[in-house]
Copies of this chain bind each other. A is one copy, B any other.
Amino acid sequence: MGAMAQPADRTVHALLQSLFQNGVRHFVIAPGSRNTPITIAATAPGSPFKVWLHLDERSAGYFALGIARQTGEPVALTCTSGTAAANFVPAAVEARLSRIPLIFLTADRPPEARDVGASQTVDQVGIFSTHVKWAVDLPVADAGAIADLERYAATVGARAAAASLEAPAGPVHLNIPLREPLVDADSETLPFDLGAVEVRRSVAAPATPTPNEIARVASAVSGRRGVIICGPETNLPAAAITSLAKLLGWPVIADPLSGLRAGHHALDAIIDRADVLARERAFTDPATPKMTIRFGAQPLSKPLNTWLATLTDTTQIIVDPAVAVTGGWRDPDMRTSIAVAADPGAFCLRLLESLDAHSTARPEWLALWVEANAAARTALDAAIASLDEPFEGQAVVDLAGALTEGSTLVAGNSMPVRDIDSFFPTMDRAVRIVGTRGASGIDGVNSGAAGAAAVAAGPVALMIGDLSFLHDVNGLWPIRRHDLSLTVVLVNNDGGGIFSFLPQRTSMPARFEEWWGTPHGLDLSHAVVLHGGRHAILESGPTSGASAAIGDALQRPGLDVLELRTNRDRNVALHQQVWAAATEAVRHAVVAARA
């Protein structure tokens, strides 16, 4: 059969075989006619791929992103020609900035069908603009040069996989023009492996810092009062970072998406309430560091970032392998003094080798941070527990209590991820917390969670707001189709809750609700039932059993949506109330320690 295959079949098979040989394991298909040869190859007898189906290309893009974020492997996805490809753009934008390896395989009409009014034919060359790392418009498979084209396709596959993985990881675009016929009598039985040439391309080892740079940094940080800041990033080396912190005697500010807030690394120096601490001048004055070293992107906390931006006498270091390339320099406040182009793990190991026991800061420094953090945490917990009405922060506490070892928590954008920052505690269980923080859009969040659920070994929870849930309601579809399990904590305040924190809520009261508050008025349980899920109202409060309800859902197969209904105005007031209690506790703790 293989010998009878058409050139297009052989070329596409060679491309897909090369993708597999270079690390791609998951393949997402959005169905269509023009991408038929790609679908045939991906699902061929002997195909080594785990193949997923999705009916909405926008959601499919984020579903693939969720798989890639969870596995660290490049994920391939394909769609038919036309606006289908345009629907992949949002996920590409997110993948570029959040450094997720994706390989977009967009089927296209052949060149002679372009810009001549052919159906479902749009300009797909360059459709991802600067939002992919590499883009190729493949030649049409032609009988005249079959061996070379197979080698070319295998080479493109190898380069695509490598380009998607090499730091900073990100998306690539292969545009694949295909001529009819797209299927023939042999298609059904054509095996995956048509004996194409094998091309492998390895990814470079993690970038190491130069010895000179390490020596300079070691000299600068040794014995000084400093802070390690871990921002959003997949796969930061938690053990190496906490080892470095221990030797330096520094606290580690752990953004919830840094991977350092929960796990089996050393937790005693983890600061999980920096968002509160940074609000309180009685703390920030004595806690001003001489040095900071940041791994990952800028943290979520606005008070923290605002404070850090004021520290003009502090030497602020960022460590990132990609400072010189698009998306690599992540310092919007322009406070970086030294940008070290290095992999965080390699940097920590080299720096540890250059330091010794004399490098440790005086113990009062770490104690100041740890005690203030403990005071903030205790006060926040007490303030939340004392509320006798639904509070969105309580949902974070309930959810955190229900997450068992090996769980994944997907943090929705806008309010949920900020509430997770404020209220998710440090814990010694390996709980992976991820979010869509490249572009921080509210789109594609359900899909990313479904993608995580497709590959995660343990339970997967999503905490999401109502507008974001509604935006990507199609993202729920794969859960039933592919027998996935996902527990959603849906915080429903009927509109854009985060906008209530903006000045226009009070300065433009007549227009605020209509154009920013934007109540949608929907009973979202219908969306859950549409996609075959179970819906329940989540009772709020420490004695409500909410944590147990979430825990039970996490053990069940299928889709559970637990909805907490809240009020946007009250949400602002309650946040201010618990923050006030916490900052006051921090103030007392600092004063008591210094007395």
Point out residues on A near B: beta carbons under 8 Å. Answer: 29, 31, 33, 36, 39-40, 43, 53, 55-58, 82-84, 86-87, 89-90, 92-94, 96-97, 112-113, 115-123, 126-127, 129-131, 181, 183-185, 187-188, 297-298, 326-327, 329-332, 334, 439-441, 443-444, 467, 470-471, 473-474, 477, 480-481, 496, 498-499, 502-504, 507-511, 514-516, 518, 520-524, 526-527, 529-532
Report how far A532 CA is from B498 CA in the complex, Å. Answer: 26
Given A89-B89, A529-B526, A181-B443 contact (CB < 8 Å): no
Cross-chain contact B515 with A87 (CB below 8 angstroms):
no
Task: Note all chain B residues with C-beta closer than 8 A to A93.
Answer: 82-83, 86, 122, 127
Known pairs A123-B131, A471-B474; A515 contacts B83 (CB<8 A): no
B118 contacts A332, C-beta separation under 8 Å: yes
A115 touches B329 (CB 8 A): yes
Q: Is A36 a contact of B441 with CB atoms below 8 Å? A: no
Q: Within the complex, what minimum Cβ distance (angstroms) separates A37 from chain B?
A: 11
Q: How far is the CB of A83 from chain B (nearest CB, A)?
A: 3
* A-B contact list, 26 entries, CB within 8 Å: A29-B515, A31-B496, A31-B515, A31-B516, A36-B502, A39-B515, A43-B511, A55-B470, A56-B471, A82-B93, A82-B440, A82-B441, A83-B439, A83-B443, A93-B127, A115-B326, A115-B329, A116-B329, A116-B330, A117-B327, A119-B440, A120-B439, A120-B440, A185-B507, A188-B509, A470-B477
Q: Complex: how many Å from CA A523 to CA B509? A: 41
| Nearest chain B residue, comparing its CB with the CB of A520 | B55
How many monomers of this protein are in the complex?
Answer: 2
Whether the Cβ atoms of A86 and B90 lie closer than 8 Å is yes
- Kindly state the separation between the CA atoms of A567 and B40 in the bound complex, as whole angstroms: 24
Query: Across the interface, do A530 and B520 meet the contact criterion of CB distance under 8 Å?
Result: no
A33 to B512, CA, bound (A): 12
B53 and A515 contact, CB distance less than 8 A: yes
Tell whether, in the assembled complex, residue A188 and residue B508 are in contact, meaning their CB atoms are under 8 Å apart.
yes
Closest B residue, CB atoms, query A185: B507
| A-B contact sample (16 more), CB < 8 A, given A116-B334, A123-B130 | A29-B515, A33-B499, A36-B502, A36-B504, A56-B443, A58-B87, A82-B439, A83-B443, A87-B90, A89-B89, A113-B332, A115-B329, A116-B330, A119-B332, A119-B440, A183-B507
Given A471-B474, A527-B530, is A503 in contact with B183 using a C-beta cutoff of 8 Å?
A: yes
* Chain B residues positioned under 8 Å from A523 (CB to CB): 530
Q: Distance in Å from the Cβ of A387 to the closest Cβ of chain B?
A: 27
Docked-complex contact A481 and B521, CB < 8 angstroms: yes
Nearest residue, chain B, Cβ from A528: B526
Instruction: Give min CB distance, A309 to chain B, whole Å.
Output: 12
Do B82 and A117 touch across chains, with their CB atoms under 8 A apart? no
Q: Which 7 A-B pairs have the closest CB atoms?
A: A117-B330, A83-B441, A118-B332, A526-B530, A86-B90, A188-B508, A82-B439
CA distance A511 to B189 in the complex (A): 10
A33 with B502: CB separation less than 8 A: yes
Q: Within the assembled complex, what's the spacing in Å between the Cα atoms of A523 and B120?
A: 29
Contacts of A83 in B (CB 8 A): 90, 93-94, 439, 441, 443-444
How far is A131 from B123 in the complex, measured between Cα atoms in Å? 8
Determine the distance from Cα of A532 to Cα of B523 in the docked complex, in whole angstroms. Answer: 9
Task: Establish whether residues B516 and A298, one from each chain, have CB atoms under 8 Å apart when the complex forms.
Answer: no
Query: Who on chain B is nearest to A127 by CB?
Result: B129
- B502 A183 Cβ-Cβ under 8 A: yes
- CB neighbours (8 Å) of A123 from chain B are 129-131, 326
What is the CA–CA distance of A74 and B172 in the complex, to the nearest angstrom?
Answer: 35
C-alpha spacing A104/B530, complex, angstroms: 33
List, in ascending order, chain B residues with CB within 8 A of A439's CB. Answer: 82-83, 120-122
Q: A117 near B331 (CB under 8 angstroms)?
A: yes
Which chain B residues border A117 with CB–CB below 8 Å? 297-298, 327, 329-332
Q: Which residues of B contact A443 (CB under 8 A)?
A: 56-57, 83-84, 87
B511 touches A188 (CB 8 A): yes
Contact call A120/B441, Cβ cutoff below 8 A: yes
Q: Which B residues touch A184, using CB under 8 A? A: 507
A56–B126 CA distance with the chains assembled, in angstroms: 25
- Contact, CB under 8 Å: B116 / A331: yes
Question: Given known contacts A89-B89, A523-B530, is B40 in contact with A508 (CB within 8 Å)?
Answer: yes
Nearest-Cβ distance from residue A405 to partner chain B, whole angstroms: 31
**A507 touches which of B55, B127, B188, B502 (Cβ 8 Å):** B188
Chain B residues with CB below 8 A from A115, complex form? 326-327, 329
A330 to B329, CA, bound (A): 45
CA distance A524 to B514 in the complex (A): 29
